[in-house]
Structure 1
Amino acid sequence: MNNSLISPATIDDISALNELVNSAYRGDSSRKGWTTEADLLDGIRTSEASLREMFANSNATILRYVKDDQLLGCVYLEQKGDDLYLGMLTVSPDLQAGGIGRQLLEAAEQLARDRNCRAVTMTVIPQRHELLAWYERRGFQRTGAVHPFPDDPERFGEPKVPLSFIELEKKITSD
């Protein structure tokens, strides 16, 4: 059976989410895909404890992309006032550039519409030029806001170069 499905993740998915996210963003496995942060940061991208905190946030959800009982992608979404914050958009490094990320992004935008949000917002490390271009091709625009990178290596990794975040947003319109 060749079924794919985007649905809310549950706490039972924490171990698989942790493995997927870290494999896609850090270490040698992440170099198979184009979304690696391995040249910018050492350490982990997330942990099971951080994921548990995300699940404890009543304003947040993690959508997961599963095909043939395999977790292949996910995205973290958090309602912040009239906006839906998007983070941790992840696709298995072996399957990047195959449309899974786009499908997760579309599901996030639909959730924003369903919740009558003004916009989907996110922060991106400015050195990630290909990623910024990918989001901009999908209608996201830079807001001009810059945020400091968290000084918490145990939780976010150890920067190899000075890092910050730039903010992007995409205004949401009703269908």
Structure 2
Amino acid sequence: MFITLATLTDVPELTALINASYRGESSKKGWTTEAHLIDGQRIDNEGLAEQMEDPNAVILKSMDDAGKITGCVYLQMRGDKLYLGMLTVSPLLQANGLGRLLLQAAEDYARSIDYHTITMTVISTRTELLSWYERRGYQKTGDVIPLIITEKFGILKQPVEMFRLEKTV
């Protein structure tokens, strides 16, 4: 297993992985699913390619020995903080330490570009996920943000709020 920068040629495989990990029936095999809160796709090829073309953003990907993408994390420079999003691990591989490895790689990347604060948002009702991040040093900032998405990226089944978390690295 190794972690490297994703490229535009990875978009179709990344899109499939992200959608399978967050939404729909396949996501229910892992513990990070949002399927009970949000219907529809999490991302499409066009939206992911757009994120990757942002000069202030990268996606780190993990790959198995056969070259299959098993996880990813999105990182974007926002002012003096690095935003972390879409931390994704294949539902079939969750709870085996890959998420921790991707999070560590994100923190290493932040330090390599001289960023010392990582920020993210997590759905407020995802207590197990919030606890997972808190065990890794991320703390709630007190900011609560309503999740607003277009139908292209999901259909909310109920109002959803997110907590902002931060960590100094």
Normalising by the residue count of structure 1, what TM-score does the alignment of the two structures yield? 0.94
2 CA distance for matches of 1:147 and 1:117?
A: 24
Q: Take 2:146 and 2:33, find their aligned partners in 1: how far apart are those partners?
A: 20
Instruction: Select 1:36's aligned residue among 33, 37, 62.
Output: 33
Identify which of 12, 18, 22 aligns with 2:19: 22
Over the matched positions of the two proteins, sequence identity in percent amounts to: 51
Show the 5 A alignment for 1:98-117. 98-117=96-115
Name the Cα RMSD after superposition.
0.8
The C-alpha deviation readout for 1:118-149, integer Å capped at 9, x for no partner, is 31100011011111010000000000112221
Q: d(CA) in 2 for partners of 1:138 and 1:151? A: 28
> What is the one-letter code of the residue matched to 1:95?
L
- Are 2:154 and 1:143 aligned? no
Q: TM-score, normalised by structure 2?
A: 0.97
Amino acid aligned to 2:166: E
Question: Residue 112 of structure 1: CA displacement?
Answer: 1.0
Q: Secondary structure at the match of 1:36?
A: coil
Amino acid in structure 2 at the alignment position of 1:80: R
Tell me which residue corresponds to 2:70. Answer: 72
Matches of 2:146 and 2:136 in 1, distance apart? Answer: 25
Shift of 1:44: 0.5
Counterpart Cα distance in 2 of 1:102 and 1:71: 16
SS in 2 for 1:166: strand
1:84 to 82, 85, 88: 82
Aligned residues: 168
